[in-house]
């Protein structure tokens, strides 16, 4: 956000006006980053317990935290679908946004369903996949106009 404000106000000399997509991007990435921060601790519950680190996964269990993280991301993708359909003015933008986010949500759901929570390497693999989804969002946000 600080880069946006700096470039708009001081570099380009424009008044600080937020485009329609600004708040979507802020909310979407904030939720996604929060999930990434919580999810990264799921495979390391044993180590966190051994050192007395009270992560969400230690306090509430791997399974519960895993499903909450996946649920938050799926809700986030639903928010993106609705936002893209409502905010985008061009038909192509609406189509790309809706289909793109539905596709990413579907990929997430398919991968999450098949993860064995007792296999730390499988959970880590899903965590790395979440980073790929996070990166893919940078392409899709260009279509919310």
The pLDDT tens digits along the chain (145 residues) read: 667 676 777 777 777 777 778 889 999 999 999 999 999 999 999 888 889 899 999 999 999 999 999 999 999 999 999 999 998 889 999 999 999 999 999 999 999 999 999 999 999 999 999 999 999 999 999 888 7
- Calpha distance 113→23 (Å, rounded): 31
pLDDT of residue 22: 84
pLDDT of residue 5: 72
- Calpha distance 4→17 (Å, rounded): 10
pLDDT of residue 4: 66
User: DSSP assignment, residue 52?
Assistant: T
Map tokens 């000399």 to a residue. Answer: 13
- Are residues 10 and 18 in contact, defined by beta-carbon separation less than 8 angstroms? no
Q: Is 27 exposed, middle or buried (0-12, 13-18, 19+ CB in 10 A)?
A: middle
């Amino acid at each position: 956000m600080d880069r946006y404000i700096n470039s708009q106000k001081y570099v380009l000399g424009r008044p600080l006006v937020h485009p329609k997509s600004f708040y979507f991007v802020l909310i979407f990435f904030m939720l996604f980053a929060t999930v990434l921060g919580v999810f990264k601790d799921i495979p390391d519950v044993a180590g966190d317990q051994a050192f007395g680190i009270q992560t969400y996964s230690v306090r509430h269990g791997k399974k519960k935290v895993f499903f909450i993280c996946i649920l938050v991301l799926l809700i986030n993708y639903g928010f993106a679908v609705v936002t893209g359909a409502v905010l985008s003015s061009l038909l192509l933008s609406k189509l790309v946004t809706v289909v793109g986010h539905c596709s990413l949500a579907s990929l997430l759901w398919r991968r999450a369903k098949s993860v064995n929570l007792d296999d730390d390497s499988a959970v880590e693999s899903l965590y790395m996949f979440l980073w790929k989804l996070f990166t893919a969002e940078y392409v899709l946000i260009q279509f919310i106009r």
